[in-house]
Amino acid sequence: MVILLGIDIGTSACNIAALDAEDGRVIASSTQDYPVYHPRPGYVEQDADDWWNAVCKGIRDLSDQGVDASQIAAVGIDGQSWSCIPVDKDGEVLARTPIWMDTRADELAREVESQIGAERIFSISGNPFKPSYVTPKFLHMKKYQPELIAKTDKILGSNAFIAFRLTGAITHDYSQGYAWHFFNEAKLEYDHELAADLGIDMSYLPDLVAPDAIVGKVTNEAAAKTGLLAGTPVVAGGLDAACGTLGAGVCRPGQTQEQGGQAGGMSICVDSALAHPQLILSPHLVPGQWLLQGGTVGGGGTLAWFSRELGAAEEQIGRENGMPAFAVMDDEASASPPGSKGMIYLPYMSGERSPLWDAKAQGVFFGLGYDKTRGDMIRAILEGTAFALEHNVRIARTVGADVSEFRAMGGAANSRIWTQIKADITGKPFVVPAADTATTWGAAIVAGVGAGVYKSYEQAVDKTISIQRSHQPDMARHAAYEPYYDIYESLYPTLKETMHKLADLKSSTADN
């Protein structure tokens, strides 16, 4: 048996899976949690050493489940976007990394953008200059933590950090290149002139490599900590959204991954570097293709919040009937009509990413009344996240990127009603891959291509990925949702100023 190992450095946990290269079957898997730190408003951090400890523990767990390390042909790694990990010359982590939700550099990003020019930055990067990206985060460190930068040798991304711990190689893959705004999307290379104008010394950046490039082999030290065999090939890996997109079977233009994990989002596969200033553009793992992405903070995390804070009844019903609380919530949402009896939810629970890019956006239930039930609120959450998806799709369409089908992944894809709501609101078919391990499988496919197990990405996808169910849009419901979507899209511009006042009030209160 040929085994491929996929490592996923997610926001809430590290997911690791050993997969059969022949059919993509999961042989063993492990999930290891780690904390997220919120030291101040706008600050959202993780410790990269927590990630590495989770990787070590998770791989040892696979060994305990019977995985034979000698059968592992290669290791692939994917990681969350926009990590900014400062390491010294010995590779030691110097500080916690601000993660993708961190917006501490919001004000600085606006200042730099006005100085350099938004159009110039966008013409090179194909991405908006927003605080979530690495460029503003690094500039924030440089301005406010000069003592940290003085000790820093390199800035690493999430998957690059794990690859470094496994092999000792310092790299940065193309799919994560977009984190830096002087990365030229079309040419897949750094623009040194723009970097200089931004005041960034290129010596802090690792060399760019292809995601399927074998960057090194597992060292003796890493083998002792993980249980892997020394000498096992490790590829650079890539962006979690790109690996999840590949693992869902998206390798041809028009196919689109729909992400329903902690956050929500989409990745439309395109064959040219199409860009829109309100969206995210990154190279796909598949050569000659790019991903035009949209991401909302309101994904499965929104429903998890509701369950944690307001879902005691669903927990109790679930215990009494032997079913998960989320299944109870699905049943309650199913009893509510499309439109949630005239209630609309804005899923901006930690600001909002695309297409709003507003760190001060606020979550809203609009239309609450005595006639509303818990089921209506739950359905409004499902619909609100679907409206956020549709908002991004409509923006993408303006630059010629359209969706032929969605391939759903993440925990939300397990909800039939949620997936159907998304199909009805977007008017596009949704298919759900049979395996619920798209992201780790995508990382494993990259490893397989790099190690020569597969001749191409298309071969790997066609050979190993099957569909468990599909959802066709109900076009009558699609039409019925249109006026609700129009109200959804109008609410943010109407409430923006008030949202900002509230955010500033909360921030001043926290500072005092």
88 domain residue, yes or no: yes
> Does the residue 242 lie in any domain?
no
Label residues 29-59 b or e (16+ Cβ within 10 Å = b).
Answer: bbebebeeeeeebbebbbbbebbbebbbebb
178-223 pLDDT tens trace: 999 999 999 999 999 999 999 999 999 999 999 999 999 999 999 9
pLDDT band at 125 (very low <50, low <70, confident <90, very high): very high
Domain annotation covers residue 335: yes
Strands 207-209 and 189-190: unpaired
**pLDDT at 512 (0 to 100):** 61
Reported pTM: 0.88
Q: How many domains does the chain have?
A: 2
Q: What average pLDDT does the chain have?
A: 95
Domain match, 56 and 122 both? yes
Is 47 part of any domain?
yes
Residue 241 forms part of a structural domain: no
**Looking at residue 177, which CATH number applies to its domain?**
3.30.420.40
Residues 275 and 171 in one domain: no
Instruction: Determine, yes or no, domain membership for 441.
Output: no
Q: What confidence category does residue 141 fall into, taking pLDDT thresholds of 50, 70 and 90?
A: very high
- One domain, residues 105 and 63: yes
Q: Which domain holds residue 472?
A: 250-434+466-512
* Residue ending a domain, choose from 205, 236, 267: 236
pLDDT of residue 462: 93
CB 489 within 8 A of CB 391: yes
Q: Are residues 83 and 126 in the same domain?
A: yes
pLDDT band at 399 (very low <50, low <70, confident <90, very high): very high
Q: What is the mean pLDDT of residues 111-122?
A: 96
Quickly state the pLDDT bin for 382 (edges 50, 70, 90): very high
User: 468 to each of 427, 434, 435, how far by Cα in Å?
Assistant: 20, 4, 8
Task: Say if residue 511's pLDDT is above 70.
Answer: no
Hey, is 453 helix, strand or coil? coil
pLDDT at 360: 93
Same domain, 273 and 403: yes
Say yes or no: 258 and 232 in one domain: no
pLDDT greater at residue 507 or residue 237 = 237
416 & 471 share domain = yes
Considering the domain architecture, whether residues 211 and 279 belong to the same structural domain is answered as no
Cα distances (angstroms) measured from residue 251 to each of 243, 266, 270, 286 = 11, 14, 9, 7
Same domain? 272 vs 224:
no
293 and 199 belong to one structural domain: no
